[in-house]
Chain A
Amino acid sequence: MIPIVGTRRGVALRNCLILFSILSWNTVLAVQPDEVLTDSRLEERARELSKELRCLVCRNESIDESNAALARDLRLLVRERLVAGDSDQEVMSFIVERYGEYVLMTPRLTGSNWLLYAAGPVMFLISFFVGVVYMRSRQCALPSQEMALSKDEQIRLNEILEK
Chain B
Amino acid sequence: MITELGHYALILAFWVSIVQIVVPFVGAHQGRPRLIAVGEPAAIIQFLLTVFAFFALVWAFATSDFSLQLVTLNSHSDKPMIYKITGTWGNHEGSMLLWVLIVTFFGALVAWFGENLPPTLKARVLSIQALIGTAFLAFILFTSNPFLRLAIPPMNGQDLNPLLQDPGLAIHPPFLYLGYVGLSMTFSFAVAALIEGRVDAAWARWVRPWTLAAWIFLTIGIGLGSWWAYYELGWGGFWFWDPVENASFMPWLLAVALLHSAIVVEKREALKSWTILLAILAFGFSLIGTFIVRSGLLTSVHAFANDPERGVFILAIIGFFVGGALLLFACRAGVLEAKGVFGTVSRESALIANNVLLATSCFVVFIGTIWPIIAEMFFDRKLTVGPSYFNFVFTPFMILLGVLLPIGAMLPWKRGNVGRIMRVLRPYLFLALAMAALVWSVQTNRSILAPLGVFVGVWICVGALVDILSRAYSSRDILRILRFPRADWGKLVAHFGIGVIFFAICGLVAWQQEDIRVAYIDESYDVGGYTITLRDVQRHDGPNFVSTMGTVSLSDGGDEIAQLWPEKRNYPVAQMTTTEAAIDYRIMRDVYVVIGDRQDDGGWVIRTYVKPFANWMWFGCFLLAFGGLLSLSDRRYRVAAGARRPLHGLLAK
Binding site for B on A (CB under 8 A): 1-15, 17, 25-33, 36, 51-52, 54, 58-62, 65, 100-107, 111-113, 116-117, 119-120, 123-124, 127-128, 131, 134-136, 138-139, 141-143, 145-146, 156, 159
Contact = CB atoms under 8 A, between A and B. Distances in A.
B300 A120 contact: no
Interface string B199-242: 00000000000000000000000100110110011110100101
A30 to B, nearest CB: 7
Contact of A141 (B338, B349, B578): B338
Nearest to A148: B339
Contact of A106 (B164, B349, B389): B389
Question: Which secondary structure dominates chain A's binding surface?
Answer: helix
B302 A105 contact: no
A81 B235 CA distance: 26
B647 interface: yes
Contacts of B245: 2, 5
A49 B357 CA distance: 31
B105 interface: no
A120 B367 contact: yes
A52 to B, nearest CB: 7
A2 B89 contact: no
Given A36-B516, A124-B360, A135-B344, A5 B172 contact: yes
Given A2-B293, A4-B169, A138-B338, A27 B597 contact: yes
Contacts of B647: 156, 159
Contacts of B352: 131, 134-135
Contacts of A27: 597
Interface residues of B, number: 95
B304 interface: yes
A12 B303 CA distance: 10
B417 to A, nearest CB: 15
Interface in B366-414: 367-368, 371, 375, 378-379, 381-389, 392-393, 397
Contacts of B163: 4, 6-7, 9-10
Contact of A13 (B243, B339, B341, B576): B576
A3 B95 contact: yes
Interface in B173-203: 173, 176-177, 180
Given A10-B162, A107-B384, A5 B301 contact: no
B340 interface: yes
Contact of A28 (B172, B301, B517, B579): B579
Given A54-B386, A107-B384, A131-B353, A5 B341 contact: no
Contacts of A143: 341
B486 interface: no
Contacts of B383: 101-102, 104, 107, 113
B596 interface: yes
B247 A2 contact: yes
B385 A106 contact: yes
B90 interface: yes
Which are the 4 A-B pairs with shortest beta-carbon distances? A5-B225, A105-B386, A10-B163, A3-B173
A60 B393 contact: no
A1 to B, nearest CB: 4
**Which of A27, A28, A36, A131 lies at the interface centre, i.e. has the most chain B CB atoms within 10 A of its CB?**
A28
A127 B341 contact: no
Interface in B564-590: 568, 575-579
A6 B229 CA distance: 5
Given A26-B597, A131-B353, A134-B352, A15 B225 contact: no
B173 to A, nearest CB: 4
Contacts of B244: 2, 4-5, 8
B381 A8 contact: no
A100 B575 CA distance: 32
**Which of B290, B355, B371, B378 lies at the interface centre, i.e. has the most chain A CB atoms within 10 A of its CB?**
B371
Nearest to A36: B516
Contacts of A5: 172, 176, 222, 225-226, 228-229, 242, 244-245, 248, 302
